[in-house]
Structure 1
């Protein structure tokens, strides 16, 4: 007598899978936040001058202005670690939103022209107003990010077959090269190449408390808006027809999602310059761990992106002390092989 194979009903199987993904998301958020705190502590400890934990603790409790180590901790290391966490989270969330809305596995702020557009307007700003304020730089970066995004979608949609994921990536690469070339020409002509070289390389060496104060509200508002859009982005990732069938307003979702991406990326670029590939790598890792629900992808991406940039910034300070390697170089060492792998195997779709 043959035994019948034991199998779970389909509804039970889906519930089991959903439970596993929810558990994975909970673990990632819990462990990830602990690792983020640890990585930030290590970032504060290590650099051109190593500082022990007791000195850090004393600087937080009994700050002494006459102590150089206390000044380094309070005015340099702590704001730098906080800014790295917020920028990493912002770039990772931007990449997750872009990939979800476009169903394009290759979408990210650095590849889709968002970062290059922001750099383009910052180059113009520094050429015209060399002493522009941090707030002005952030506003111009928002405008440039929007310009870069619009140009990529315009170029990518010119062909008869429409805007495919591969064409979107190719258009992004071309537009990025164009804006970078124009930006370089502007900085050379107006003799501000030295001033903008920091933004091209991507780094956190000049972070101050004013940058943290500017980043914090944008990051918090961006996270809240992204979480509010998460359910709609999950539906959109299944295809526009499916999303409309589920009652989603796809055009409104895309518009609001684009605004969130411009906010987060513009703020990050205006403070740290070009830091690539975080928005490409982190959403893929997160989707692999927690599934395709953007209600978990977005917060988990934020945590993992924050950890990656804090660790990358710490490594960039330790490669060639006392000199700093641009953090954008460290993230590129991770991101370029990952991009090539996706371009070869993934076919450009997240679904």
Structure 2
């Protein structure tokens, strides 16, 4: 049975019956008796004293309907460009996962098809706060994008397909909280915290190249801490923009709890991998991980192949000895140290089963065009 998750947020439909249409008829900048045929004479008469902007270039200002959650732009940089106002969402499907957005005008429907059926393989991207220096760093979470084009299908209330193409998807959310909830539903992992980092490197990808230029795995990126909704395990993800431009995700239980090589002044620290050249293996964590995998298999959830768990839960070993991080802000550096201690302790001490054996969830009702979100 297909699992789904939804935003569950309240949504107020717009009083407008349809998306605003932009009229190209001429309107007098001076009086109502001005007509289209008098356009040239009017502009000529006033151009000697002051410049006049042709009224045909002006459009009604569309502030959007009340209660929308996010926006997306379709047909960008074309004459048909339009902004779509998005309300509640839900993530549906197991073999072809997609996000179903209820739109604001006439209950239009926008579907965002995801490139992978495994939730943990999808990574919404957020820029480092340096890209908007005059905004608060958390505000960057309102602007989400993806590294590769995704298919977007936009259907009117009458069932007419307006858009069905692969595009570079960019969402702009109205609040940081809505974006965090959306990212969690998308990956089935709660976004615990995020940090701006100058550079992330390992023993395989050194911090600088032979010319002294900063390289590493990724530089000027946003590091994110996640908690899996099924296993409750924590993980770190970062975009490897200095190597293959793909996301790297590391499970916290692969690392020692103690943070080595800390430099508070430089805001750097090192995470050592268990049992790799001097790291002390955590036998308790290994036994706990083995017990949970055994119980998951007995409940009919194969860890290596289950899309519910994703590849990060399968039996994997890291090919690096350590992961080093240099933070941009002092507050992020201190907050990471505090959160790391709690997350690592939680992963190490957990000895139960996330859900009872043979547990399953019923899917939430899909959002249908022309019907409210709460009535399904």
TM range (shorter): under 0.3
- Which one scores higher on RCO, CA 8 angstroms, separation ≥ 6? 1
TM-score by length of 2: 0.21
- Bigger strand share: 2
Larger Rg: 2
TM-score by length of 1: 0.22
